[in-house]
Amino acid sequence: MKKRSTNIYPKILLEEVNEGFEYLYEKEQEMVTNKILLDHARMSQKKKIIQLNETIYQFRGYGISNMIVINTDEGFVLIDTLLTKELSEEAKKDFNRITGLDKEVIAVSTLTGMQTTGRESKPGLLKRMLDQEKLML
């Protein structure tokens, strides 16, 4: 049986404001902006990598979607990949920099608009997307 870590989770491994959105933290913003909207903008424009336990990481603030990465012995499993290849590459770069982990992606799970609206997904769509983009985290 694997020994459980005594570390406390979740751990924030990275938290930084996306370039170009520093103005959201200027004092003047609090005087002219709806507080709820300002808090939402600040939250969504701050990159975060959060380690949820020994093997699961959550990525926030890399565009409008979040991503979960599961670190297995064989490689990474991605759940709900980010919106573009460029955002995925940025997340990979940040992740490698702070963890030192650099593994192959072995599985991808996505939820598309076709699935959420009840329409049938086109066979092979995910494979074609991966082949075209060569997504690697």
Count of structural domains within the chain: 1
Predicted model pTM? 0.68
- Residues found in the chain: 137
In a domain, 2, yes or no: no
Higher per-residue confidence, 62 vs 5: 62
pLDDT at position 119 is 52
Domain of 58 in residue numbering reads as 11-133
Task: Write out the two tokens for 39.
Answer: 């808090």
In a domain, 1, yes or no: no
In a domain, 16, yes or no: yes
Query: Quick one: the chain helix, strand, coil %, rounded to 5?
Result: 35, 25, 40
Task: Look at residues 10, 14, 96 and name the one whose alpha carbon lies nearest to residue 53.
Answer: 10
User: Is the pLDDT reported for residue 51 higher than 90?
Assistant: yes
User: Is the pLDDT reported for residue 50 higher than 90?
Assistant: yes
User: Is the pLDDT reported for residue 47 higher than 50?
Assistant: yes
